[in-house]
Structure 1
Amino acid sequence: MTRSFEQLTEAQFDDFAQGHQAGSYLQTSAQARLLARRGWQTALVGLVEDATVVAAAVLAWIPVRMGNLFQIDGGMLIDYSNQTLVNEFVAGVEKFAKSHNGLFLRVVPNEIYRRYDNEGVQIGAANEAPMTTLTTAGFKHTPAPKGWTTNASPSWQYVKDLTPVLAADDADKALRQSFAKDGKYYLKKTDQFGIKLRRLGREDLTDFKALTQHTADRLDYHDKDLEFYQIVFDEFEDDAYFVFAEMDFPAYIAGQEAARDHLAEVVADLDARIAEKPNYKKLQRQRAEYADQHKQHEKRIAQAQVEREKAGQDVVVIAGSLFLATANEMIYLYSGTYDEYKNFYGPYAVQEYAFKQAVARHIPHYNFYGISGVFDGSDGVLGFKQGFAGFAEEKVGTFVKPINGPKYAIYSLLKKLMGR
């Protein structure tokens, strides 16, 4: 048995990565091309045994003070319980990095340390294997921090298992039924509102960027630039879903008017029955209920007319998101919502669209991506995602190993002195 560390072709890499249980968009040839267009150098590397790839990673590097930072984000795609395999892979990466002025190697595995229910109670046992194997291989470990980041893949995420839905006779029905109470309620509202979903073309990305920038400005975080979204569109092709939820005001108002007029007839009928039986309290309660619903439709019509006039157009974007698909995962990556249209619940409709695409492609895992890791009710993003009935995951953290020990010691000291 002979194993060798080699650079792989895109076909070799993707064939292996797409079938790996820890595979994600971060470990694809498309992501390697994206990084290359964003200023990184990249290589698809792996261990090959008897012409079969047994471990692989997208290896990327970029200049920093005193050398190059080498990084494997979302990898390695490897059996972390096999110390020998990990040692051989790391040795291959180190040799490659030394020949390319490597300063240090940072690995952020797509491995789950612990899983939690919606109350933050741990589910099952912790996965210690990656920490044990990588520290034995000479890495320094930093556990997954709580909180938010827009500069790296998240340490905490919220996910949903779609295998029960895929096994159902009526997958669409099973999907809706699998959601939590809040998710079902708001999706029923989007059905009533007639929210339309539209997958975007490249020519629509300027509008998508306007939406995400609006949201970033409102919530005070840094958004990706337009070029990034264009590169994602180009490199991930059919696996990239840029989606808008849109409100058609004339259609919405017509639907609300029809519901209002029907309720007016119901209330009039109840008035006639109450006149005949004035002491029948059940009829009076029904009338009050239907009259209140009638008022709600009147209110929605008035609000929509104001919003339509303000927008100066009949159809408006209310929310949008970017999703990326791989063989085993649909991931919710970036999104935006126009605050003035939040009462139309567009984000729920966008999520269901992506869920349906995952089901159609027989993708077994849905990844809502980042949450803060705090379960005290303060994380509104977590609350939204919980509406779709999944569970939380804490990743294993970050691992760093010097490539050039003396230079890395000086680099680390300088960073500390500079407070970075």
Structure 2
Amino acid sequence: MKFGEISESEYNEFEKNHPLGIFLQTVNQYHVLNERNWDAKLVALRNDNNQIIAAAVLGSRKLHIGRLYEVTGGPVMNYNDQAVVKTFADEMAKFCRQHGGLILRWIPNLHQAKFDDHGNVLETMNQAAKNNLELAEFQYNEPQKVENGHYSKVALSYEFIKRLNGLNAATLEKSYSKDAQYSVKKAKEFGVTIRKIPYAELEEFHKYTTATAERRGFKDKPLDYYQKSFKAFKDDDKFLFAELDLKQYVILQENEVKTLADRRQQLVEKSEQHLSKHRAAQARELEDQIQHHKKRIVRANKLITRFGQKPVLAGSMFSVQPQEITYLFSFMNDEFRDFFGPYLIQDYMMKLAVERHIPQYNFYGVAGDFSGQDGVLRFKQSFIGNTYEVLGTYTRVVKPITYRFVRLLKRIIGH
């Protein structure tokens, strides 16, 4: 087996067709890393027939002493093949050592457990992969706890995934929970629309994601991350806004008021001056509905005064891969919560996945809190899927003597 750097075209062909391919291990992400002051390389392992059998976007950045080398979401390979894992690890460690590396970190795109909505383990998996990583001299790093909405700085510990196999455009919505079906239906009735935004609107997108991050107590990505991702991933990234034309919404509500008022009037006229108890109840119900729609009109006009005719209700960023669509970042403007914009965005992207025969939809990070208090998890669960615990982060020290010296120095100076 032979290790070395490879071309973008070779790498892209391998990653796009491998079952463990992920946006974090794409040529596009390689460009994003280099644009954001990482030093990224495309490396691979070939068999004796010169076929690529393992590959990785290997990024590095400076530490106080030496460099950290990291493969986030990879490497892309068969982790059950002990010889491949060991050889790729040894050769990559050698490469890192030759280029000033101190630590090599792998964060594989694998899961170790599958859970139901109540936190019960349904299945354990990839135990052979864990063993092979340890045999390749990697040490498992315990994940940092999630506190106040902050995920581990290194990697997520849990993610929520919906399998799309066997679903089509006609059956997809029926696969959601009743709550999600209702929310999608209401968003459509209200006239909510989904729009893919251009590069010029990323500043507005970032303004909203930053506000959401501050409200929920976590740190947003900087604007340049979104801008560089947009340029590098092109159509493989989707930035979407859910919007509502409030003037059209008012017209819809006014039409409903007129329709209901006509029905109520017909009911009264048919009763010839005398309403039975049943018809009286019907008339009261129609009047309640009329008042409900009138309240919506009043509220909508106030929202127009504050936010303009066509406000942004919510927005999200997605990555589209042959293996999966990944839901990455999002925001919701609280004033428009009851227009259900986030539900329609998810429905829009899942329909795209089904249309393109993409087998799974990754809602990405959740905290692993099954107490019922995690609103983010409840939202994702409403589309029906499972929570998975990721395999985790594995670290191999490539310069042990220097590493021990650095640790000793940190203890001495108290850092």
Scaled by the length of structure 2, the TM-score of the pair is: 0.94
> CA contact under 8 A between 1:274 and 1:284: conserved in structure 2?
no
Q: Secondary structure, in 3 states, of the residue corresponding to 1:163?
A: coil
Matched, 1:74 2:76: no
Alignment of 1:229 with 2:226, yes or no, is yes
Per the TM alignment, residue 279 of structure 1 is displaced from its structure 2 partner at its CA by 4.1
Kept in 1, the 8 Å contact 2:194–2:240? The answer is yes
**In the alignment, which residue of structure 1 is the partner of 2:178?**
181
Equivalent of residue 355 in structure 1, options 325, 342, 350:
350
Q: 2:241 is matched with which residue?
A: 244
Q: Secondary structure at the match of 2:283?
A: helix
Structure 1 residue 381 displacement after superposition: 0.3
Q: CA separation of 1:95/1:76 partners in 2, compared to 1, >3 Å: closer, same or farther?
A: same
Distance in 2 between residues matched to 1:59 and 1:346, nearest whole Å: 37
Q: What's the offset of the Cα at 1:418? A: 6.9
Shift of 1:323: 0.5
Q: Kindly tell me: are residues 262 and 413 of structure 1, through their superposed partners in 2, closer, same or farther at Cα, counting changes over 3 Å? A: farther
Q: Within 1, Cα distance between the matches of 2:414 and 2:70?
A: 22
CA distance, structure 2, for counterparts of residue 146 and residue 157 of structure 1: 15
Alignment partners' CA distance in 1, 2:414 and 2:175: 48
What is the aligned counterpart of 2:360 among 365, 372, 391?
Answer: 365
- CA 1:276–1:129 in structure 2 vs 1: closer, same or farther (change >3 Å)? farther
Counterpart of 1:108 in structure 2 is 107
Secondary structure in 2 matching 1:366: strand
Quickly say closer, same or farther: Cα 1:79–1:415, change in 2 above 3 A.
farther
Report the Cα distance in structure 2 between the residues aligned to 1:120 and 1:23, rounded to whole angstroms: 27
Q: Tell me the alpha carbon deviations over residues 54-81 of structure 1, each in whole angstroms, 9 at most, x when there is no partner.
A: 1111111111121000111100112111
CA contact under 8 A between 1:42 and 1:58: conserved in structure 2? yes
Secondary structure of the 1:75 match is coil
Q: Following the alignment from structure 2 to structure 1, what is the Cα–Cα distance between the partners of residues 152 and 299?
A: 35
Counterpart of 2:119 in 1: which secondary structure?
coil
| Pairing 1:84–2:83 present | yes
Match of 1:325 in 2: 320
2:317 partner SS: strand
Q: Which residue of structure 2 lines up, in the alignment, with residue 47 of structure 1?
A: 45
State the match for 1:156 in structure 2.
158
- Alpha-carbon contact 1:146-1:373 (below 8 Å) kept: no
Counterparts of residues 269-308 of structure 1 (less than 5 Å): 269-273=266-270, 278-281=275-278, 283-308=279-304
> Residue 135 of structure 1 aligns with which residue?
134
Q: Give the 3-state SS of the residue equivalent to 1:315 in structure 2.
A: coil
Deviation at residue 410 of structure 1 after TM alignment: 2.8
* Conserved? CA contact 2:145–2:151, under 8 Å: no
Change (3 A) 1:308 1:414: farther
- Residues 239-285 of structure 1: per-residue CA shift (max 9 Å, x gap): 0101001110111111111112111222223334556664443x344
Distance change (3 Å), C-alpha of 1:419 and 1:385: farther
Number of paired residues?
411
Q: 1:396 aligned to 2:396?
A: no
Q: How many angstroms apart in 2 are the aligned matches of 1:309 and 1:389?
A: 38
* Alignment check: 8 A CA contact 2:192 2:242 kept: yes
SS in 2 for 1:363: coil
Contact 2:143–2:152, Cα closer than 8 Å, also in 1: no
Look up the equivalent residue of 1:80 and give its one-letter code.
Answer: Y
- Equivalents in 2 of 1:353, 1:217: separation in Å? 27
For 1:103 and 1:152, the matched residues in 2 are separated by 17
Q: Is the 8 A contact 2:155 2:392 kept in 1?
A: no
Please tell me whether the aligned partners of residues 114 and 123 of structure 1 are also in contact (alpha carbons under 8 angstroms). yes
User: How far apart are residue 182 of structure 1 and its match?
Assistant: 1.1
Post-superposition shift, 1:338? Answer: 1.3
Q: Given residue 326 of structure 1, which amino acid in structure 2 is its aligned partner?
A: Q
Q: Take 1:31 and 1:191, find their aligned partners in 2: how far apart are those partners?
A: 35
Determine the C-alpha separation between the residues in 2 that align with 1:294 and 1:100. 72
Long gaps (5+) in structure 1: 166-170
1:209 to 206, 215, 221: 206
Give the aligned partner of residue 25 of structure 1: 23
Q: Report the residue type matching 2:347 in the other structure.
A: E
Asked whether the equivalents of residues 145 and 152 of structure 2 are also in contact (C-alpha less than 8 Å), the reply is no
RMSD: 1.8
For the residue of structure 2 that corresponds to 1:159, the secondary structure is strand
The alpha carbon displacement at 1:289 in A equals 3.2
Shift of 1:11: 1.2
Q: Cα offset for 1:172?
A: 2.2
Shift, 1:193, TM fit = 0.7
Letter of the 2:173 counterpart: R
| Displacement after TM superposition at 1:406 (Å) | 1.3
What corresponds to 1:4 in structure 2? 2
Compute the displacement of 1:290 (Å). 2.9
Please tell me whether the aligned partners of residues 203 and 223 of structure 2 are also in contact (alpha carbons under 8 angstroms): yes
The match for 1:383 is: 378
TM-score of the pair, normalised by structure 1:
0.93
The alignment partner of 1:172 has SS state of coil
Question: Aligned letter for 2:282?
Answer: Q
SS in 1 for 2:311: strand
Aligned twin of 1:168: none
Counterpart contact for 2:90–2:136, Cα < 8 Å: no
